[in-house]
Structure 1
Amino acid sequence: MPDQFKYWRAVNSLRNGELSFTQAFISDGNVNQASFFFALLPFPTPVSPISLGFYNTFLYIILFFVLYVKKIFTDVSIWFYLLFPSAALYTALSLRETLIFFFMTLTIVYARESKIFRSALFIIPIYLIKFQNFFILGPIVLMYFLFNVAKKGMSLTKALVIGAISLIGLLLSAPIAIPLVNTFRVAMFVEDGGNKDEISLIAGAGDFVFQGLTSALYFLAKPLPWEASNALQLVQSVENLAILAVLLLITRQAWKLRPDKLAFWLLFLAFSMSIYGLVVFNYGTAVRYRYPFVIIYVIFVCADCNITRLRSHKRAKSHTQPMTKSLD
């Protein structure tokens, strides 16, 4: 992944004085700003992109202990965190995705604890590194505070109302939003090696809403097995099927236990997948952008809804109960 060399060179430039920390912080490029945070970590100057990849692994380990000490993990989410293949891959590379995941997760952790200042402190770097995620996470964290979701949850009625308001907002903003979305669609398609004349643009408000809804599901699932064109994509497609099965089981359990809290996180997942689904076409990029949102969904749905196993044991209990009575 050639982008790794950009971050590696930028960190080395910061460490040897060719690029000042002030210049990196205020520059327009996301690479320099992400490298600013990498360069602050207390490690020797990386001699290769592999060395810089250890910086990300360190952040992933630190985040593990934060979530463990704060008792946010459950028996399900802790294993998902440790065994998710895409997380193992991208947290070992010298890219900005782990930094983004690190700051996003801590923003939500402190939002759950109603620590507004700390939550705001960790969301600011996201704006500098990846402003799209800032605008996705910002409204979500605000709703988390306003509705006190961690303690009270969010009623299904509120979730439906918010969904309806969001849909109306999309329709009203369509004249302004559609040209911007089309611009990003073309730019991302060309960046991934496509011809700008081959991409279908969003035609109107109805198409905008339809594409937003359908692209969310597709973005969560792609690449599908028959779309894989190389070995890595084939592995990713198999992983997708397994992850979708796990998400379905977790969501099903959460629906039975705490649908009020699940409703909030479903909004989070649908909102994020819709935005990226509209503009990202490359399969590898989709997996790379998607994995922080998937892990966050699993961690906090399991924490808020107390998901300790993927499947219910009610059936097993019903078989053992008559035996207990007979012994009594």
Structure 2
Amino acid sequence: MPDQIQYWIGVNAIRSGNLGLVEALLSGGNVSQASALFAVMPFPTPVSPISLGFYNTFIYIVLFFILYAKRVFTKVSLWTYLLFPSMALYTALSLRETLILFFMILAVIYVRESKIFKSILCMALIYIIKFQNFFIVGPVVLLYFIFDVARKGMGLTKALTIGVIGFVSLLASAPIALPLVNKFRVAMFVEDGGDPKKIKLISGIGDFVIQGLTSGFYFLSKPLPWEAASALQLIQSFENLLVLIILFLVTRQAWIKSPDRLAFWLLFLVLSMSVYGLVVANYGTAVRYRYAFVMMYVLFVCADCNVEKLFLKKSNIAR
């Protein structure tokens, strides 16, 4: 992935003194800001993008022990964390995605413990390195704290009400949001090497609403096997099918155990997938952006709803 080189160059520029640490953080460029966070990690200066990938592997390992020590893991989420192929791939590359995942998960962990300042600090770092995720995770963390979801749940009525408000907001914002969505669709498609003439734009309010309601599931599942254009995409398409099965099984178990808590995390998954589904057309980018939200969903649904197994016991099925 060519953009790995940008982060490697950024870290080396900071370590060599050609770019100041504060200057990088205040630059407004996501690559420079993420590079600054990498640069302060206590490791030798990376001699290649592969070397910088070990920084992310270290973050992945640290996050594992944090989740274990905080007792967030259940048997299901622990094995998902260790065996999720996209998790293994992207946490071994010299990209900012592992940093984003790290701070997103920490923000929720700290709000579960009512450590608001630490959670706000994590959210601030997310804003610095990927502001889109800030506007998705920020409201989620706030609602999680307000409704005390970990202990009380949200309630199906409240979740439905928020869903209706979200749909009405989608309709009301269409005239303003539609040009921006199309702008980002084209920009992200071109950034991934696509021809801007080949990207399909959202044609009107009706299409915008339909895309808003359906893009989330498509974003969660693409590329489908028949859409794969390379060996990697074909592997990712089969991974998607497995992930969808695991999400279904986790959600089913959570619905049986604690539908009030599950309702909150379903809203989170729908919101995150729909937002990115509207603007991301590239299949590889979809997988790269999606895995962090899928991992968060599995981690905290299993933790909040006490999902220890994927399959129901025979005695429960008989009932």
Q: TM-score range by the shorter chain?
A: over 0.9
Deviation at 1:95, TM superposition (A): 0.3
Q: Post-superposition, which runs of at least 4 consecutive aligned residues in structure 1 deviate over 4 A? A: 316-319
Deviation at 1:198, TM superposition (A): 3.1
Please give the residue correspondences for 1:1-328 in structure 2 after superposition, counting only pairs within 5 Å. 1-315=1-315
What are the ranges of 5 or more consecutive residues in structure 1 without an aligned counterpart? 320-328
Q: Identical aligned pairs, as a percentage?
A: 68
Deviation at 1:168, TM superposition (A): 1.0
| d(CA) in 1 for partners of 2:301, 2:81 | 13
2:313 partner amino acid: H
Deviation at 1:203, TM superposition (A): 2.7
Deviation at 1:191, TM superposition (A): 2.4
| d(CA) in 2 for partners of 1:210, 1:122 | 34
Deviations 1:166-206 (A, max 9, x none): 11111111111111111101112222333323333223333
SS of equivalent to 2:18: coil
| d(CA) in 1 for partners of 2:10, 2:106 | 25
- The 1:316–1:198 alpha-carbon spacing in structure 2 relative to 1, beyond 3 Å, is closer
Deviations 1:141-167 (A, max 9, x none): 111111111110011100000001111
| d(CA) in 2 for partners of 1:40, 1:245 | 39
| d(CA) in 2 for partners of 1:49, 1:23 | 22
Deviation at 1:118, TM superposition (A): 0.8
Deviation at 1:316, TM superposition (A): 7.8
| d(CA) in 2 for partners of 1:249, 1:294 | 14
- RMSD between aligned alpha carbons? 1.4
| d(CA) in 2 for partners of 1:116, 1:257 | 28
What are the ranges of 5 or more consecutive residues in structure 2 without an aligned counterpart? none
Deviations 1:265-298 (A, max 9, x none): 0000000000100111111111000000000000
Deviations 1:245-280 (A, max 9, x none): 000000010011100000000000000000100111
Could you tell which deviates more after superposition, 92-101 or 197-206? Answer: 197-206
The residue aligned with 1:325 is: none
* TM superposition score normalised by structure 2: 0.97
| d(CA) in 2 for partners of 1:24, 1:273 | 30
Deviation at 1:111, TM superposition (A): 1.1
| d(CA) in 1 for partners of 2:197, 2:78 | 45
Q: Which has the larger radius of gyration?
A: 1
1:217 partner amino acid: F
- The 1:165–1:317 alpha-carbon spacing in structure 2 relative to 1, beyond 3 Å, is closer
| d(CA) in 1 for partners of 2:63, 2:199 | 39
